[in-house]
């Protein structure tokens, strides 16, 4: 048998790399890049659904939405829901990771159950939650009532503030398993000897947690939060199914409002403007977090944390 | 300042008896080395003293305080240096050394003073603002010692602190460590698998095997008067030669042991010396600069295939041709006898 003397494709790493990346690249460009660019373009147009006319509108769409109290409210809600749910997630995930780290009977089952919210389709989960928050059958209310803690009645999805709280809870519930798994992985990457050194050095549980473990977890938590922020800020399903933006447009977040205006209301230009409004902010947040993660990793050449 | 008393201490991990009934009395200010191969239980013993591991049974007393029950590590007055040094990677050297002081709520000004004092002692003052990853292995090791020192511990626990250093650095670090311990006079328990380290550092050495103490003694006692064949072959490099000499003057089932450095060509001994001679069939000679190792076997012994090693210092220039049989001898005072079955030392 002779060995071919010619170079084959497998020998040419420069070409091979490109060839293997091409399918993924094509996929991302066609299904993410093009619609994304299209959305940005739409934001500056007066295009409407059901018509093929396309005219430049400049910044008119942005002027309109910035003068619109419903949009401003949705923007505020988006920020509240994203920040609120992520704060909740970080606290819960860190606590849960501590629990899941210790060995106990049925830990494998518990870990599996933990991951369920992550695997359940959003729509299905949101429907279950509408029942939990139902104005008549709310399990929360009945439980509180039975425990003697509640005297009136909570209209979870009927009261704007409570509805927002409900949305935060559901969003946190969705991201929490994923964050826990990430934090758990981060915890197990902390060398046991460092934790023991802290114990011998006289640090109690809280000092160990806040001075040793959390700082070492920071890069990992930053990544988890980054994912959480993106997932929550861009999510349409939870709010759409839970409240549909109601009552009286008080619980809209940007994605639901964009959907309402752009698709249901047929004003594609304005919908697109709403949808991409948060983009610059999200990019700034993402860059900030990635830098934070990186800085902690290399020990902050100059900066203390 | 405090000694440590350990009484019938045991630690079982399921069926594994990691520490299997250890009694130990460590004197105040002593440098005690726990020597053993991996799995001998030496580290588990150290971790139980530290409070990182809970004994299955037995007692540990540090000073006049019994600590084996619920006394947490921070209340035991100990400081520990880990093999990996376990420095906090996100903290500067200063913050690393300050950590135990912060944990004991020392006033900030005092922390500053103490850290500077310790850093001065180990000459790492110029690294105080660096992060551990910016330091070399030797510097990290000194930071770890500093961090242990600032707590003013009653007892230092060191878990193979030199194992991660390269050979050259290890010698200086060993010397530094010994000088430092002499200076501060704090009881120190030091775990190692390296017998050279153990011999060089320890006031006394505890040789451990399978969770049990085989021998406790000064380096000299352990080296010259091993209590059994395990200690005899574990301590010393190359190990003690053991051989069934088939000597009719000895009781049956007796192993004769002698150190390679005592096993020399007969011609180098003085006339008046009381010698035991052997016919040594030389297989191979290894030239090591300061020494020559001569490998071979003893003709006419109970086990003619067993490898016997002679260690000839460079001062003996006598030619030893390979493949020939030579007259070698051991001074009788350097012979040690062991029971073939039990391995225990026999008097005589």
Kindly report, residue by residue over B194-215, the tens digit of the pLDDT. 999 999 999 999 999 999 999 9
Confidence of residue B263 (pLDDT cuts 50, 70, 90): very high
Within 8 A of B79 by CB-CB distance, chain A residues are: 200-201
Task: Name the segment(s) of chain B with CATH classification 3.40.50.300.
Answer: 4-233
Q: Kindly indicate whether the ipTM for this predicted assembly is greater than 0.90, answering yes or no.
A: no
Average pLDDT over residues B122-150: 91
Q: Domain B239-346: give its CATH superfamily.
A: Nucleic acid-binding proteins (2.40.50.140)
Q: What is the pairing mode between strands B308-313 and B291-298? A: antiparallel
Kindly report, residue by residue over B155-170, the tens digit of the pLDDT. 999 999 998 888 888 8
Q: Which pLDDT value is given to residue B234?
A: 92
Q: Which residue has the higher pLDDT, A154 or B21?
A: B21
Average pLDDT over residues B90-112: 92
Nearest CA to CA, how far is B91 from chain A (Å)?
A: 8
Q: In sequence order, what are the residues at sequence separation of 6 or more whose Cβ sits closer than 8 angstroms to the Cβ of residue A229?
A: A82, A86, A282, A285, A286
Rg over CA atoms, chain A: 24
Contact A202 B73 (CB under 8 A): yes
Within 8 A of B99 by CB-CB distance, chain A residues are: 198, 201, 203, 211
Largest CA distance in chain A: 88
User: For residues B213 and B207, is the Cβ–Cβ distance under 8 A?
Assistant: yes
Confidence of residue A297 (pLDDT cuts 50, 70, 90): low
Average pLDDT over residues B209-224: 94
Contact B79 A200 (CB under 8 A): yes
- If contacts are CB pairs under 8 Å, which of residues 76-135 in chain B contact chain A? 78-80, 82-84, 86-90, 92, 99-100, 102-104, 131, 133-134
Within 8 A of B100 by CB-CB distance, chain A residues are: 201-202
Q: Which pLDDT value is given to residue A299?
A: 45
In this predicted structure, the answer to whether residue A300 has a pLDDT above a threshold of 70 is no
Confidence of residue A301 (pLDDT cuts 50, 70, 90): very low
In this predicted structure, the answer to whether residue B258 has a pLDDT above a threshold of 90 is yes
In this predicted structure, the answer to whether residue B7 has a pLDDT above a threshold of 90 is yes
Three-state secondary structure string covering chain B: CCCEEEEEEEEEECCEEEEEEEEEEECCCCEEEEECCCCCCHHHHHHHHHCCCCCCEEEEEECCEECCCCCCHHHCCEEEECCCCCCCCCCCHHHHHHHHHHHCCCCHHHHHHHHHHHHHHCCCHHHCCCCHHHCCHHHHHHHHHHHHHCCCCCEEEEECCCCCCCHHHHHHHHHHHHHHHHHHCCEEEEEECCHHHHHHHCCEEEEEECCEEEEEECHHHHHHCCCEHHHHHHCCCCCCEEECCCCCCCCCCEEEEECHHHCEEHHHCCCCCCEEEEEEEEEEEEECCCEEEEEEEECCCCCCCCCEEEEEECCCCCCCCCCCEEEEEEEHHHCEEEECCCCEEECC
Q: Which of A86, A82, A125 is nearest to A254 (CA)?
A: A82
Q: Which domains does chain A have, with CATH numbers?
A: 69-297 (1.10.3720.10)
Contact B74 A212 (CB under 8 A): no
Percent of chain B with pLDDT over 90: 63
Burial of B12: CB neighbours in 10 Å, binned 0-12, 13-18, 19+: middle
Q: Write out the two tokens for A48.
A: 């409407």
Which strands sit side by side in the sheet containing B57-62, from one edge to the other? B16-26, B4-13, B57-62, B65-66
Instruction: Specify the residue for token string 């690294």.
Output: B127
Q: What b-and-e string marks burial along B253-265, b requiring 16 or more CB atoms within 10 Å of the CB?
A: ebbbbbbbebbbb
Mutation for testing the A interface, residue in B89, B145, B155 having most A CBs under 10 Å: B89
Q: Which residue of A has its CA nearest to B78?
A: A200
Contact A212 B88 (CB under 8 A): yes
Percent of chain B with pLDDT over 70: 99
Per DSSP, the residues of chain A read -PPP-S--GGG-HHHHHHHHHHHHHHHHIIIIIHHHHHHHHHHTB---TT-----B-TTHHHHHHHT-HHHHHHHHHHHHHHHHHHHHHHHHHHHHHHHHHS--TTHHHHHHHHHHHHHS-HHHHHHHHHHHT-TTT-HHHHHHHHTT--SS---TTTSHHHHHHHHHHHHHHHHHHHHHHHHHHHHHTS-HHHHHHHHHTT--HHHIIIIIIHHHHHHHHHHHHHHHHHHHHT--HHHHHHTTT-STTSS--HHHHHHIIIIIS--HHHHHHHHHHTHHHHHHHHHHHHHHHHHHHTT-SS---
Kindly report, residue by residue over A247-283, the tens digit of the pLDDT. 878 888 888 888 888 888 888 888 888 888 878 888 8
Taking the CB of residue A271, how many other CB atoms lie within 10 A of it?
27
Sign of CA dihedral A240, A245, A246, A251: positive
Kindly report, residue by residue over A196-239, the tens digit of the pLDDT. 999 999 888 899 989 999 888 888 888 888 888 888 888 888 88
Task: Name the segment(s) of chain B with CATH classification 2.40.50.140.
Answer: 239-346
In this predicted structure, the answer to whether residue B1 has a pLDDT above a threshold of 70 is no
In this predicted structure, the answer to whether residue B348 has a pLDDT above a threshold of 70 is no
Kindly report, residue by residue over A81-138, the tens digit of the pLDDT. 999 999 999 999 988 888 888 878 888 888 888 888 778 888 888 888 888 888 777 7
Taking the CB of residue A161, how many other CB atoms lie within 10 A of it?
9
Q: Which of B203, B93, B195, B75 is nearest to B145 (CA)?
A: B93
Q: Which of A63, A15, A35 is nearest to A270 (CA)?
A: A63
Average pLDDT over residues A142-166: 81
Q: Could you tell me the fold of the domain covering B4-233?
A: Rossmann fold (3.40.50)
Contact B90 A305 (CB under 8 A): yes
Within 8 A of B89 by CB-CB distance, chain A residues are: 194, 216, 299
Q: Which residue of B has its CA nearest to A216?
A: B90
Q: Which pLDDT value is given to residue A8?
A: 78
Q: Which pLDDT value is given to residue A49?
A: 73
Q: Which pLDDT value is given to residue A302?
A: 36
Average pLDDT over residues B297-310: 81
Q: In sequence order, what are the residues at sequence separation of 6 or more whose Cβ sits closer than 8 angstroms to the Cβ of residue A172?
A: A84, A85, A86, A88, A89, A92
Rounded to 5 degrees, what angle do the CA atoms B147, B149, B153 make? 120
Contact A215 B90 (CB under 8 A): yes
Average pLDDT over residues B21-33: 94
Most confident of A25-29, A146-150, A154-158: A25-29
Q: Write out the two tokens for B162.
A: 């030199």
Rounded to 5 degrees, what angle do the CA atoms B171, B173, B179 make? 105
Confidence of residue B34 (pLDDT cuts 50, 70, 90): very high
Q: Which pLDDT value is given to residue A296?
A: 62
pTM, 2 dp:
0.79
Confidence of residue A1 (pLDDT cuts 50, 70, 90): low
Q: Which residue has the higher pLDDT, A13 or A28?
A: A28
Q: Does B172 touch chain A (CB under 8 A)?
A: no
Kindly report, residue by residue over A24-74, the tens digit of the pLDDT. 999 999 998 998 898 888 888 887 777 777 778 778 888 888 888 888 888
Within 8 A of A202 by CB-CB distance, chain B residues are: 73-74, 100, 103-104, 151
Within 8 A of B73 by CB-CB distance, chain A residues are: 199-200, 202
Average pLDDT over residues B296-325: 85
What is the rounded distance in angstroms from the CA atom of residue A212 to the CA atom of residue A272?
45
Average pLDDT over residues B232-259: 87
Q: Which pLDDT value is given to residue A2?
A: 67
Contact B74 A202 (CB under 8 A): yes
């Amino acid at each position: 048998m002779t060995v071919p003397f010619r170079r084959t494709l497998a020998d040419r790493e420069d070409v091979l790399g490109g060839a293997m990346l091409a399918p993924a690249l094509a996929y991302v460009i066609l299904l993410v890049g093009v619609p994304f660019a299209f959305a940005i373009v739409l934001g500056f147009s007066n295009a409407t659904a059901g018509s093929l006319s396309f005219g430049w509108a400049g910044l008119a769409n942005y002027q309109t939405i910035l003068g619109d109290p419903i949009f401003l409210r949705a923007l505020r809600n988006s920020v509240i829901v994203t920040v609120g749910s992520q704060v909740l997630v970080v606290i819960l995930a860190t606590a849960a990771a501590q629990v899941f780290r210790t060995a106990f009977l049925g830990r494998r089952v518990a870990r599996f159950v933990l991951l369920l919210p992550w695997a359940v389709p959003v729509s299905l989960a949101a429907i279950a939650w509408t029942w939990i928050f139902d104005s008549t059958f709310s399990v929360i209310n009945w439980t509180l009532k039975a425990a003697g803690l509640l005297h009136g009645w909570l209209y979870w999805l009927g009261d704007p503030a409570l509805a927002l709280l409900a949305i935060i809870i559901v969003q946190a519930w969705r991201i929490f398993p994923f964050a826990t798994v990430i934090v758990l992985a981060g915890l197990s990457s902390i060398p046991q000897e460092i934790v023991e050194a802290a114990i011998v050095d006289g640090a109690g549980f809280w000092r160990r947690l806040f001075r040793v473990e959390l700082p070492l977890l920071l890069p990992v938590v930053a990544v988890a939060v980054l994912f959480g922020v993106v997932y929550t800020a861009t999510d349409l399903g939870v709010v759409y199914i839970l409240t549909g933006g109601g009552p009286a447009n008080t619980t809209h977040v940007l994605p639901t409002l964009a959907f309402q205006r752009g698709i249901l209301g047929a004003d594609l230009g304005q919908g697109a403007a709403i949808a991409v409004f948060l983009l610059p902010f999200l990019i700034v947040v993402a860059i900030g977090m990635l830098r934070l993660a990186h800085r902690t990793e290399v020990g902050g050449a100059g900066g203390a944390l | 300042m405090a000694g440590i008393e350990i009484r019938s201490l045991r630690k079982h991990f399921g069926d594994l008896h990691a520490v299997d009934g250890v009694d130990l009395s460590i004197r105040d200010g002593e440098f005690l080395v726990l020597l053993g191969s991996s799995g001998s239980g030496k580290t588990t013993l150290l971790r139980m003293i530290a409070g990182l591991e809970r004994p299955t049974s037995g007692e540990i007393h540090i000073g006049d305080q019994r600590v084996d029950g619920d006394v947490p590590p921070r209340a035991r007055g100990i400081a520990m240096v880990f093999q990996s040094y376990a420095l906090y990677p996100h903290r500067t050297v200063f913050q690393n050394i300050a950590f135990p002081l912060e944990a004991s709520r020392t006033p900030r000004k005092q922390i500053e003073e103490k850290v500077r004092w310790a850093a001065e002692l180990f000459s790492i003052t110029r690294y105080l603002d660096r992060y551990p990853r910016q330091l070399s292995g030797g510097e990290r090791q000194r930071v770890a010692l500093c961090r242990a020192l600032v707590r003013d511990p009653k007892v230092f626990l060191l878990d193979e602190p030199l194992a991660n250093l390269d050979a050259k650095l290890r010698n200086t670090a060993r010397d530094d460590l010994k000088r430092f311990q002499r200076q501060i006079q704090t009881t120190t328990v030091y775990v190692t698998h390296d017998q050279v380290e153990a011999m060089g550092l320890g006031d006394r050495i505890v040789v451990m095997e399978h969770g049990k103490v085989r021998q406790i003694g000064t380096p000299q006692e352990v080296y010259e008067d091993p209590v059994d064949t395990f200690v005899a072959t574990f301590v010393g490099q190359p190990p003690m030669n053991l051989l069934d000499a088939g000597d009719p003057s000895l009781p049956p089932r007796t192993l004769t042991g002698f150190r390679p450095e005592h096993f020399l060509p007969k011609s180098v001994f003085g006339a008046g010396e009381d010698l035991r001679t052997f016919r040594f069939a030389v297989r191979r000679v290894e030239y090591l600069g300061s020494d020559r190792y001569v490998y071979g076997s003893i003709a006419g012994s109970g086990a003619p295939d067993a490898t016997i090693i002679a260690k000839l210092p460079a001062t003996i220039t006598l030619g030893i041709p390979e493949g020939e049989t030579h007259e070698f001898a051991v001074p009788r005072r350097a012979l040690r006898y062991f029971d073939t079955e039990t391995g225990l030392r026999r008097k005589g």
